[in-house]
Amino acid sequence: MTKSSTDIDVDVLVVGAGVTGIEQLHRALEAGFSARLLEAGDGVGGVWYWNRYPGARLDSESYTYGYLFSEELFKGWEWQERFAGQPENERYFNYAVDTLNLRQHITFGARVTAAEFDESSGTWLVRASDGTEVRTRFLIAATGVLSIPVFPNVPGRNDFRGIQHHTGLWPDDPVDFRGKRVAVIGTGSSGVQVIPAVAGEVASLTVYQRTPNWCTPLGNEPIDARQQAELKSGFEQLRETLDESVSGFLHQLQETNAFDVPEAERRAFYEKMWTSPGFSKVISHYADVLNDPTANADWCEFMSGKIREIVEDPATAEKLIPKDHGWAGKRPPFTTDYFEVYNDPKVSLVDLRETPITRVTESGIETTDGLREFDIIVWASGFDFGTGALNRMGIRGRDGLALEEYWSDGPHTFAGVMAHGFPNFFFPAGPHGAAGNNPRYGGDQVQFVDELIRYARDHEYTAVEVPEQVEDAWNRMVAEMSVYSSFGDSSYFYGTNIEGKPKAFLLNPAGRPKLREALGEVLESKYQGFLG
């Protein structure tokens, strides 16, 4: 039976049970809305459900990544490591869902395939792959920026008779790497995590690298009892510091520029930075490392020296040193024993710029240099970042406007959370929203959506929509500021990893303070122009 546009099933429909969707569902229920969540997978955790490859691990400090909206939830969980691995992250999101009593509101195995806005009633009719059909007033796509895995466009992938998996679609049953001939394609954050994690078990490991990355040590360590106690007693301070930070991390900004100090002091600082944990190497680095090419090159020279020191074979070391981008020209991965792995005689590196892949065969991978046979291929080849999931959901807004058409030249958003022409539709943690510790930005957007839809309900508005000029102002800011971004435009942050995808900046180049300011102004104006 077709659903009538007058009867709604729920006030709020959330899509995606990742870090953002879980919080949004919780807030909707707390606010007294009837709410439901559709999740394509069979479990919660979002990226931490799908990316269960060996070595998958956070590189934001665990306690800054988890939820901070509830002190009780924060204190009820003790993170075991500074940078938690996938299993701990997945357990954490299950803990959150069960503690907040959300599981009964989640439908698993339901991938949204279509969502149409009905103007006369101000509702959305949403359809999912399992036949679910829901009419909702507010549709909130918490589908994330890294949820559509992509494979290189090489012929023959389906001919391979061995085992092959994408890191972003890793199976639940463990893959047995023992004694196997393994290929890993891609050396982004996923590839450089999986490579050292499996190297010890395999018969041989061949790494197919197109672009080397500036990998530096992650600096992981267990969280001891003293730190656990400090975290618990410092909850408010932690939250405050993160709220004031430029990108949702605890790391403090440096005021000194690289060449303000004598060389010996700079070398000592670089030594400290090399082992300094995770993103502190970006945020707490010399103030000009991201915007002065000479300062950036000086740090890169230091890192090149480290790679040459670690990797015994000079030719391999040279291949592992990035030549086409500086520090943070691509998203820098943080690793554990990555370069060291190349000293293991079982491990070899294929430079795809010298010998590109020509095809995948039944038994292995052929490059211009010949065929190598494998038992397992790991595709660590990345994602359709930012807009991938949203553009595939069949979103149809006012007058049937297709989201993927509206975004055919790149996303148009207000604060990475709303788009003009799509009333009562939100996409917290979407493109243009974040650049840093994602859950902190996503949390700001979730709170904004929560406050806006409560206001609309309490004041009996049936539709909310971002005014065109408000969206335009945000898009202008993104376009103007991304010109000064340190990210090279070969980065997936511009969508250039996907053939035919428009080149457009997909992050929020102004950071979290600007996001909070923009959302705050709308709230303060009592949603002027948003309500209809």
Which of 34, 152, 302, 523 contacts ligand N01 by CB under 6 A? Answer: 152
**Per-residue x/- track, 160-179, ligand N01 (CB under 6 A):** -------x------------
- Classify residue 158 by its DSSP letter: G
Which of 191, 322, 428, 430 contacts ligand N01 by CB under 6 A? Answer: 191
Find, among 181, 189, 188, 186, the residue nearest to 160 by Cα: 181
In whole angstroms, give the CA distance from residue 40 to residue 156: 28
Contact set for ligand N01, span 332-361 (CB under 6 A): 352
Nearer to ligand N01, 167 or 304 (CB): 167
Residue 475 found at the interface with ligand N01 (CB under 6 A): no
Query: Which of the stretches 33-41, 287-295, 321-329, 374-382 binds ligand N01 when contact is defined by CB under 6 A?
Result: 374-382
Residue 238 found at the interface with ligand N01 (CB under 6 A): no
The torsion angles phi and psi of 44, rounded to 5 degrees, stand at -95, 165
Find, among 167, 214, 201, 162, the residue nearest to 186 by Cα: 167
User: In whole angstroms, how close is the CB of 527 to ligand N01 at the nearest point?
Assistant: 32
Tokens linked to 356 = 């590109």
**Per-residue x/- track, 493-512, ligand N01 (CB under 6 A):** ----x---------------
Which of 21, 54, 66, 188 contacts ligand N01 by CB under 6 A? Answer: 188
In whole angstroms, give the CA distance from residue 310 to residue 287: 28
Residue 190 found at the interface with ligand N01 (CB under 6 A): yes
Type of residue found at 101: N
- Strand pairing of 357-360 and 364-367? antiparallel
Query: Which of the stretches 126-134, 265-273, 376-384, 396-404 binds ligand N01 when contact is defined by CB under 6 A?
Result: 376-384
Please compute, for residue 248, the number of CA atoms within 13 A of its CA located in the half-sphere on the CB side.
29
Nearer to ligand N01, 168 or 443 (CB): 168
Q: What is the DSSP string of 195-241?
A: HHHHHTT-SEEEEEESS----EE----B--HHHHHHHHHTHHHHHHH
Residue 58 found at the interface with ligand N01 (CB under 6 A): yes
3-state secondary structure of 35: strand
User: In whole angstroms, how close is the CB of 482 to ligand N01 at the nearest point?
Assistant: 17
Which of 17, 100, 146, 231 contacts ligand N01 by CB under 6 A? Answer: 146
Residue 126 found at the interface with ligand N01 (CB under 6 A): no
Q: What is the DSSP string of 300-322?
A: HHHHHHHHHHH-SSHHHHHHHS-
Residue 211 found at the interface with ligand N01 (CB under 6 A): yes
Residue 442 found at the interface with ligand N01 (CB under 6 A): no
> Residues 527, 455: contact at Cβ < 8 Å?
yes
The stretches of 370-425 forming alpha helices (DSSP H) are: 388-391, 403-406
Which of 21, 122, 144, 382 contacts ligand N01 by CB under 6 A? Answer: 382
Which of 62, 89, 123, 187 contacts ligand N01 by CB under 6 A? Answer: 187
Contact set for ligand N01, span 265-304 (CB under 6 A): none
The torsion angles phi and psi of 209, rounded to 5 degrees, stand at -115, 130
Residue 91 found at the interface with ligand N01 (CB under 6 A): no
In whole angstroms, give the CA distance from residue 164 to residue 14: 32
The torsion angles phi and psi of 383, rounded to 5 degrees, stand at -140, 160
3-state secondary structure of 238: helix
Judging by beta carbons within 10 Å of its beta carbon (0-12, 13-18, 19+), is residue 229 exposed, middle or buried?
Answer: exposed
In whole angstroms, give the CA distance from residue 269 to residue 257: 12
Residue 23 found at the interface with ligand N01 (CB under 6 A): no
Tokens linked to 426 = 């939100």
Residue 378 found at the interface with ligand N01 (CB under 6 A): no
Residue 383 found at the interface with ligand N01 (CB under 6 A): yes
Nearer to ligand N01, 306 or 331 (CB): 331
Which of 331, 396, 440, 512 contacts ligand N01 by CB under 6 A? Answer: 331
The residue to which tokens 């080397």 are assigned:
212
Nearer to ligand N01, 422 or 492 (CB): 492
User: In whole angstroms, how close is the CB of 86 to ligand N01 at the nearest point?
Assistant: 9
Task: Using CB positions, name the residue nearest to ligand N01.
Answer: 188
> What residue ranges bind ligand N01 (CB under 6 A)?
57-59, 146, 152, 167, 185-191, 193, 210-211, 331, 352, 380-383, 492, 497
